[in-house]
A and B are shown apart, each in its own frame.
Chain A
Amino acid sequence: MSEAAHAAMARRNPLARLWNDKESRQVIIQIISFVLIFAFFFMMVRNAVINLEAIGKDISLKFLWQPSSYDINQSLIEYSSRSSHFRAMIVGILNTLLVAVFGIALATILGFLLGISRLSKNWIINKMAYVYIEYVRNVPVLLHILLVHGMIINLLPLPRASLTIGDGAFLNNRGFFVPKPDFEPLFLAVAALFLGGVAFAFWFRKYARMVQDQSGKHYPVFWICLAAVAGVPLLAYFVLGAPITWEIPELQGFNYKGGMVLRPEFIALWLALSIYTAAFIGEIVRAGISAVDWGQNEAASALGITRGRTLHLVVIPQALRIIVPPLTSQYLNLTKNSSLAIAIGYMDIVATIGGISLNQTGREMECMALVLALYLVFSLLISAFMNWYNRRIKLVER
C-alpha cells in the first residue's frame, strides 16, 4: 500500500488512525500484553486450584505452624524436630544465606586474584590462571559440587584417623572441627576497642582527605586504620591475658564432640560455588582493568604518582565502574546456584521448606511458591545493594 493510500484509510477509520499513531499504538500494545499476561496467570492459578480440588486439596499455609517432626543437621538458630515448619524454613534461609555470603566473599577474593594474574607479565602465573579459568568455566557447577563433596568423603580420613591441625583443629570426612571460643567478661573491652577503632578509621579517612585537599600533605591512611582496627584491639587482647577460653573438640565414640564444625556438605558447596564463580569474576576483573586506557597509567606516572597509588587512585576506581554490573549478576548466580545444595544434602531453603516440609505435608504449591518468593527477594536485595554501590562509585563530575 502506498503512503497516500495509508493516509486515506486512516482518515476514514478512527481505529486505524489510533493504530497508525506511534504513541497510541504503543499504549494499545501495552494494554493488550498486560491483559494477556494477566489472563495467563489467572488461568494458571485457576487451573491449579481446580486440579487440587479434584483430589480434595486446598491451598493453605496453616501447615507452617505444625511441628516439622524432622531433624536438621546444621542450624544457626535453636531448632529441634518439635519446632514448626516455619522455623525449619528460617533455618533453611539462614543456611542459604550463610553459604551465599561465604561464597561471595571467597569468590570475590579468588576472582580478583585470578583477574590480576591474567594481566600478569609473568608467563607462568598468567597461563596458570588462564588454564584454571578455562577448565572451571567449562565444567557445570553441579559437577564441581559433587566432585568436591566426593573428595571430602572419600579422600579424607575417618574420625579415628583425623588429621590434626595445630593445637585443636581436626579434619576428617565428617567435617572440619575447630575450637569454639567462650568469651570472658574482659573480652568486652577488646570488642569495645575494636568498635572504637572502626569508628576512628572512618573519621580518619575523611580527615586525611580533607588535610590532603587543603595542604597536599599525605598520611599513610591504610596503615593507621589497620593499627586502629586490628593492632590496638589485638594488643589489648594479649595485655588482658587473652580473655577467651577455647572449647577444644574431643574424639568421643563415633566422632568429635564439642567445638564448632564445618560439615562436609557446607565445605563442598562453599568451595565449589566459590571456585566456579571466581573463574567468571576473574574474567570480569581482567576485562574491567584492561578497559582502562593505558594512557591513564602513563599520565599518572608522568605526574610522579607511584605504581601502587596509580592502581589505587586511577585504575581501580575506573575499572570498578565496568566491573560492578557484571559482578552483580555473578553474585546472583552464586546465590541461585546454591540451591544445587540438594544434590549433596546441604540443608538450604530447597532442602527444608522446598524439600522435606513439602514432601511430608504434601503442600507442593505453597512450598514452591515460598521458595520462589524467597529467591526472588534475595535476588532483588543483592541487585538493590549493588545498584546503590554502583551509583556511589560513579564518576563525580567536578
Chain B
Amino acid sequence: MKFRNTAAAAAALIFGATTAAHAATLDDVKRKGEVACVVSTSLAGFAAPDASGRYTGFDVDFCRAVAAAVLGDPNKVKFVPATTKNRFTVLNSGEGDILFRNTTETMSRDADLKLSFLPVNYYDGQGFLIRKSAGIKSATELGGASVCIQTGTTTELNLADFMRTNGIKYDPVPVETNEEALTNYEGGRCDVYTTDASGIAATRTGLDNPSAHVILPEIISKEPLAGAVRHGDDQWADIGKWVVNALINAEELGITQRNVKSKARKSGDNPKVNRLLGTEGGMGAMVGLDDKWAVRAISAVGNYGEIFERHIGKKTPLGLERGLNALWKDGGILYAAPIR
C-alpha cells in the first residue's frame, strides 16, 4: 500500500546512512551512473509508461534532460513513481535525487517541507470535470456533490477553501492516485473530479466517452508546477534550475533538437547562443558540468516548446494550448533567466 511506502521512506530517514544527506548529490549521481527521478505513477502526457514500458511524457523529458546534461545519456534515469502523498518523503529520504511530478510550488513546501524548487515548467490552475448530464454550469452549483480529490495535494486544500468561502457543503472522496480517481469518477462514486487543469485534460483522454464530460469555467487556484530537489545541496539545485532554464532559453533562441548539434559546432555571432551551447563563457563549469551540458540536454529532448508539443500540445490527445506557458514574447509568462 501507499501507506507502506510512506512508512518505508520514513524508515529510510531513520536508518539511512547519516552521511547521505551531506554528500554532493552530483557525485552521488555520477557514482550511481543514474539520476533517480521522482515522477507521477501514471498521468497521460506527463509521466506514464508507454506500450513498451518506457516512461514518457512532459515531466519525464525534464528528467531525461537532467540525465543527459549530467551523465551524457538521457536513458540513465531511474524513474521513481510516487503518489501525491509520498512524493516529498521519497525525495527527502534520498530515494529520489530530483522530482518532476506535477508539483505546485508553495511557501510551506519550500520552507517547511524543505524542497528547493526549480523554475516553473508549467503554469496551471485547479479545474473541475463533471458529466454533461449533471446540467451544471458553474462550480458554485456543486452543493451536495461528491468530489474526488487526490490526497496530499494543494487540490484538497484549495477545494476546502473554495467551498468554505462559497458556503457550499460537499462530500470529499479522497483517492491516492489519478487512476483511482478515474475509477471512482467513472463508477459514479463522485459527481466531480477536481485537480490541475492539465491533469484534467490528461484524465479526460482516459474516459470512455470524453465528449460526455465538461470542464467547468472556474479555475480556482494558481498552480505553478515545478521540479524540486532537497534543501541543502545548492550545486545540485543549480544544475536542475539551469537545465530547465536552458530548455526554455533554447526555444527563445530558436535552438531545436535538430539544429543544436550544428549550431554547437563552432561559435556563431550570437553570444547568447554561444554561451548556452558552450562555445564561449565556460558556463557549465560553474555548476560542476562541462561546456556541452545544455547541448546534450537539448539534443536529447528538444527545447521547451518541442517537449510541450510532443506530449501535451494541440496535436496530442491532451490538446493543451500554450496559453500562459507560451514564451513571454509570444503572450505567455514563460520567462527564463538568462544564461550569462
Among A52, A158, A174, residue most surrounded by chain B Cβ atoms (within 10 Å): A174
Does A393 interact with chain B (Cβ within 8 Å)?
no
Does B89 interact with chain A (Cβ within 8 Å)?
yes
Instruction: Tell me the count of chain A residues lying within 8 A, CB to CB, of chain B.
Output: 50
Contact partners of A351 in chain B: CB under 8 A: 151, 174
Q: Is the CB of A69 within 8 A of B231?
A: no
Proximity string of chain B (1-42) to chain A, C-beta cutoff 8 Å, 1 when within and 0 when not: 111001101100111101011100000000000000000000
Within 8 A of B (CB), among A347-382: 347, 350-351, 354-356, 358-362, 364-365, 368
Tell me which of A54, A150, A253 contacts B21 (CB under 8 A): A54
Q: Is the CB of B113 within 8 A of A362?
A: yes
Q: Is the CB of B18 within 8 A of A358?
A: no
Closest to B188 in A: A158
Closest to B192 in A: A254
Contact partners of B163 in chain A: CB under 8 A: 71
A183-191, A202-210, A336-344: which lies at the B interface? A336-344
Q: Is the CB of A365 within 8 A of B172?
A: no
Does A56 interact with chain B (Cβ within 8 Å)?
yes
Within 8 A of A (CB), among B123-148: 134, 142-146
Q: Is the CB of A254 within 8 A of B184?
A: no
Q: Is the CB of A54 within 8 A of B159?
A: no
If the complex has contacts A80-B164, A364-B89, are A356 and B18 also in contact, measured as CB distance less than 8 A?
no
Tell me which of B3, B109, B157 contacts A355 (CB under 8 A): B3
Alpha-carbon gap, A358 to B157, bound state (A)? 14
Does B173 interact with chain A (Cβ within 8 Å)?
yes
Does A233 interact with chain B (Cβ within 8 Å)?
no
Q: Is the CB of B187 within 8 A of A354?
A: no
Alpha-carbon gap, A219 to B22, bound state (A)? 79
Contact partners of A354 in chain B: CB under 8 A: 3, 6
Does B156 interact with chain A (Cβ within 8 Å)?
yes
Tell me which of B159, B164, B175 contacts A345 (CB under 8 A): B175
Does A6 interact with chain B (Cβ within 8 Å)?
no
Does B78 interact with chain A (Cβ within 8 Å)?
no
Alpha-carbon gap, A146 to B16, bound state (A)? 34
Does B50 interact with chain A (Cβ within 8 Å)?
no
Q: Is the CB of A257 within 8 A of B144?
A: yes
Instruction: Tell me the count of chain B residues lying within 8 A, CB to CB, of chain A.
Output: 56
Does A106 interact with chain B (Cβ within 8 Å)?
no
Contact partners of B175 in chain A: CB under 8 A: 345
Q: Is the CB of B13 within 8 A of A253?
A: no
Proximity string of chain A (68-111) to chain B, C-beta cutoff 8 Å, 1 when within and 0 when not: 01111100000011100000000000000000000000000000
Does B171 interact with chain A (Cβ within 8 Å)?
yes
Does A47 interact with chain B (Cβ within 8 Å)?
yes
Within 8 A of B (CB), among A19-60: 44, 47-48, 50-52, 54-57
Closest to A357 in B: B152
Q: Is the CB of A48 within 8 A of B13?
A: yes
Q: Is the CB of A81 within 8 A of B164?
A: yes
Contact partners of A359 in chain B: CB under 8 A: 84-86, 88, 151-152
Does B234 interact with chain A (Cβ within 8 Å)?
no
Contact partners of B218 in chain A: CB under 8 A: none
If the complex has contacts A50-B18, A355-B152, A360-B152, are A368 and B7 also in contact, measured as CB distance less than 8 A?
yes
Does B337 interact with chain A (Cβ within 8 Å)?
no
Alpha-carbon gap, A395 to B42, bound state (A)? 60
Does B232 interact with chain A (Cβ within 8 Å)?
yes
Does A243 interact with chain B (Cβ within 8 Å)?
no
Tell me which of A55, A254, A365, A368 contacts B146 (CB under 8 A): A254
Q: Is the CB of B189 within 8 A of A69?
A: no
Smallest distance from the beta carbon of A396 to chain B beta carbons, Å?
46
If the complex has contacts A343-B1, A359-B88, are A255 and B146 also in contact, measured as CB distance less than 8 A?
yes
B residues adjacent to A (C-beta < 8 A): 1-3, 6-7, 9-10, 13-16, 18, 20-22, 84-86, 88-89, 92, 108-109, 112-114, 134, 142-146, 151-152, 156-157, 159-161, 163-164, 170-176, 184, 187-189, 191, 230-232
Which 6 pairs show the lowest CB-CB distances between chains A and B? A54-B21, A359-B152, A362-B113, A81-B160, A345-B174, A254-B145
